Chains A and B, each alone.
Chain A
Amino acid sequence: MTEQKRFKSGLVPSLLPFGFNVERWSYSIHRVTGVIMIGYLMAHIFETFQLGAGLTAWNNTMAALRSLGPLEMVGLWIVAGSALYHGGNGIRLILNEMFGVLMGKPILPVYPYSPTSLGRNQRIAVWTITAAVLALWIWAGLYLLAGLGVI
């Protein structure tokens, strides 16, 4: 049989959680925040690498970053949010995947169905992490604004 193109598969469909459960949204956000952090890591390695190229190169890099003005802080704020969400949700996923925490035990399905792996405890975990991340992200934003001397 010849290789056929699969319908709506690939990166973009895998990141679209519309209509699905909250854990599916969490998956998409986790992936995007992971990519943001990898991007930051690469930029950070490049930035610190300039130290090895001499003090002038380092000062030029710092000057280029400072010339971005508030955009630099916005970028750092996005990185902070990404790190917070990726870390917090990562802990939930480790508990889920390595120890089966919040997944429930095998049950006898009774209609109307409600999968235990997406049960109340799992939802509480997802929303608790989201709320904590949002609170810390707002705090990080205020911290960065204070660094800019805005507040």
Chain B
Amino acid sequence: MDKVTLKIVRTGGKEASYELKYKKGMTVLDALTEVREKQDSALGYRHSCRMGICGSCGMTIEGLPRLACQTQVSSLNTDTIGIEPLHNMAVIRDLVVDLGPFFGFHTSVNPYLVRKDIQERDSADREYRMLQSEVNRFLQFDYCIMCGLCYAACPTAALDPMYTGPQAIAQAYRYMADPRDEGWKQRVDLLDTAHGLWRCHTAGACSFVCPKDVDPAKAIQLARMEVLKARVLRRKERGGSQLVPPVTTPAKQGVKAPPFDFQGGTEK
């Protein structure tokens, strides 16, 4: 492959075609950058880190939502690459989409640690201590970079603009599974709505396109079981853990801390 052609859907739905020389190791983001630098300075797209961390360069490449910086041109097995904005989102300009509603869904599930003790939360002098086995229950879902690919791939989000979406539900579960969190019940109420987690039909497209293996489809099903525990089994709060909160640690009170095995100690 000597040359590669980018067919980009621009603002208003018009398709523009750009031909450029292929270089070994070229990513789609590299190609877009070259187009903007040498052919069309008006081409609009988002990018930042160029290493799959910031999640800015999400776009539809050859029909699938992908990160442009993580997609090698050679891996697409074609010399004519179709590029569109992410689906299910409003276009601001060219490949730049409005992520506002998507971030709004993320915010709506309270994606932060909820603690009942305000003094402890605001004046903690040390970290919360958890078992490694407890961390492993939510760590996978903590790797989300909020790129929006899962939302763009989701067929339910295509039909229901009010659907909370795979990313937000996965983040809600991430905190539901966190032993430090005390907002389990409020997240159950936030997810158990008409546009909440019951709208998912387990198409799995979110997990298929996720660039970080966050596996939102799995998180949604795990969140469903938490909601069922609350609704069917009438559970009021998340199950107990061996979490040691900061203020109440024995060290704080001048008492020697008990031994704590961070690498998977036995749970009660």
Which A residues have a C-beta under 8 Å from some C-beta of B? Answer: 1, 4-11, 13-15, 17-21, 23-24, 26-28, 30-31, 93, 96-100, 103-104, 106-109, 113-118, 122
Contact = CB atoms under 8 A, between A and B. Distances in A.
A115 B215 contact: yes
B202 interface: yes
Contacts of B84: 7-8
Contacts of B207: 115, 117-118
A24 B65 CA distance: 14
Contact of B221 (A1, A26, A117): A117
Contacts of A99: 225
A103 B158 contact: no
A99 B214 CA distance: 20
Contacts of A113: 210-213
A19 B47 CA distance: 24
B87 A13 contact: yes
A19 B64 contact: yes
Contacts of B157: 9
Nearest to A15: B155
B202 A115 contact: no
A103 B222 contact: yes
Given A19-B63, A20-B203, A115-B204, 10 more contacts: A7-B90, A8-B158, A9-B161, A10-B159, A14-B159, A15-B155, A27-B155, A97-B200, A114-B213, A117-B215
Nearest to B13: A7
Interface in B153-178: 153, 155-159, 161, 177
A109 B212 contact: yes
Interface in B212-268: 212-215, 217-218, 221-222, 224-225, 228
Contacts of A31: 201
A93 B139 contact: no
A108 B161 contact: no
Contacts of A108: 136, 139-140
A109 B212 CA distance: 8
A103 to B, nearest CB: 5
B15 to A, nearest CB: 14
Given A100-B222, A103-B218, A8 B203 contact: no
B228 to A, nearest CB: 7
B4 interface: no
A13 B98 CA distance: 19
A28 to B, nearest CB: 8
A66 B139 CA distance: 62
B25 to A, nearest CB: 18
A7 B90 CA distance: 6
A117 B137 CA distance: 15
B208 interface: yes
B143 interface: yes
Contact of A97 (B153, B156, B213, B221): B221
A117 B217 contact: yes
A15 B201 CA distance: 12
A102 to B, nearest CB: 9
B89 interface: yes
Nearest to A3: B90
A116 B87 contact: no
B97 interface: yes
